[in-house]
Amino acid sequence: MPVTDPWTDAARALADKVTANAAEWHEAVSVTPRHLLVPQWWERIPNSPAEEWELVAHTEDAPARVATAYSDATLVTRVGPRHADHAKPDEKATGSPTSSSTLPGLVVSMMHRLDAKPGHKVLDVGTGSGYALALFAHRLGDDHVTSVDVDAYLVEAARARLAAFGRTPRIEATDATRALPDSEYDRIMATVSVRPVPETWLHALRPGGRIVTTIAHTALLITADMGDDGVARGSVQPDPATFMETRQEADYPPKLNDVFTLAREGDGEQVRAAVGPIPDLWQEWPLRWLYELDTPGVETRAVKMPDGRRVLWLLAADGSWACAEESEDGAADLVHQGGSRRLWDGLERVRRMWEERNRFSLHSMTVELNPDSGGTLTAPDGTWTFTL
């Protein structure tokens, strides 16, 4: 009986699970050694007061490493500027993730929507660990795939690890929101989120080509096909997907802690009763994403008080803020607002407009991407449009 590596059965089981609706990718998932691409990773420390992470490192054939690498889970490889490859045993990291190996099920689902076929020329935006690139290269051929990432170390590591099992696609270290290493792509898929969709991507996509990407700070996955007129048209997909935003530096800008202090300690210039109940933006995610489309870049924070009441904050980089607090006695919930903009007024306006349109499903929205004039998302009744 032939001897197989410990990971092969695990990879095949993963393929059986994540390619049930995308059989064309089964073989690629079955033969790709994900554990070699992610030798160690960061894991969030539960209930830590800050965003703290601990290093997970196992020997190559350790059962725990194989089991995790071939689970349908995202493995965070970089927190802030610190990559897990460079961490020492027992080291901790603090901050937000800046790179990861995306859960295979989502990667395969996006590839299925991309509908890349042998012979297509594909751009993979966001090399990361190189896992999606390995799948592309296996099915389409190394010469048909180019991948880009802003992080030179990620490119170097992915190139070496892919080569170790015979994959040699083109990988470039570059800011993907600017000039691309080539043009005339048949397909572009991004495992980083953007807003707007860079005009360089649209100029590089040939007529009849397709793009699959996500809108920054939302879970809106869009597909669009490039027309002969240079405009890509498509729609929001029903399966949500959240990715890290494209970045130009080693880390993302710091969170708005100074504005949060103002919102916690100040009364603001306006105090009034809330119109309607305070929403739970972590459960009512369609409202959250619609508000992000309408008013980009607002940071949301929430806490549950010991007595069960919820408090929600909206924070903006220009110093504007809102704090909404549920009342103790069932009376009207109060909203405090400060700064130059009334952020809560905007949230109530978006909720009202959504309710007037029968709370339509976000995947019923259409998308239009124009490299010269920008992009738009439009509600199904055609009367409400968001600029990307």
- pLDDT above 60 (res 2): no
Confidence of residue 330 (pLDDT cuts 50, 70, 90): low
- pLDDT above 50 (res 93): yes
97: Cβ–Cβ under 8 A, 6 or more apart, which residues?
42, 76, 78, 79, 244
Q: Which residues pair with 324 in a beta bridge?
A: 312, 335
- Please provide the average confidence, as pLDDT, over all residues in the chain: 94
Tell me which of 61 and 363 has the higher pLDDT: 363
Confidence of residue 5 (pLDDT cuts 50, 70, 90): confident
Tell me which of 87 and 50 has the higher pLDDT: 87
- pLDDT above 80 (res 7): yes
* Fold observed for domain 6-75+100-236: Rossmann fold (3.40.50)
Q: At which residue do the structure tokens 């369609």 appear?
A: 286
Which residue from 216, 136, 212 is spatially nearest to 168, judged by alpha carbons?
A: 136
Per-residue model confidence as pLDDT tens digits over 142-157: 999 999 999 999 999 9
What does the pLDDT read at residue 306?
A: 85
Per-residue model confidence as pLDDT tens digits over 178-222: 999 999 999 999 999 999 999 999 999 999 999 999 999 999 999
**Residue-level length of the chain:** 388
- pLDDT above 70 (res 1): no
- pLDDT above 60 (res 128): yes
DSSP letter at 333? Answer: P
d(CA 186, CA 146): 12
d(CA 191, CA 72): 16
194, burial (CB in 10 Å: exposed 0-12, middle 13-18, buried 19+)? buried
What does the pLDDT read at residue 255?
A: 92
Confidence of residue 250 (pLDDT cuts 50, 70, 90): confident
Q: Which of 126-130, 155-159, 234-238, 369-373 has the lowest mean pLDDT?
A: 369-373
d(CA 203, CA 178): 11
Confidence of residue 4 (pLDDT cuts 50, 70, 90): low
What does the pLDDT read at residue 329?
A: 67
What does the pLDDT read at residue 309?
A: 84
Q: Which of 8-17, 166-175, 323-332, 346-355 has the lowest mean pLDDT?
A: 323-332
Class of domain 257-356: alpha beta
What residue segments make up the domains of the chain, in order of their start? 6-75+100-236, 257-356
The whole-number average pLDDT for the span 317-333 is: 86
- pLDDT above 80 (res 332): no
- pLDDT above 70 (res 315): yes
Cα 229 off chain centre by: 29
Per-residue model confidence as pLDDT tens digits over 252-282: 889 999 999 999 999 999 999 999 889 999 8
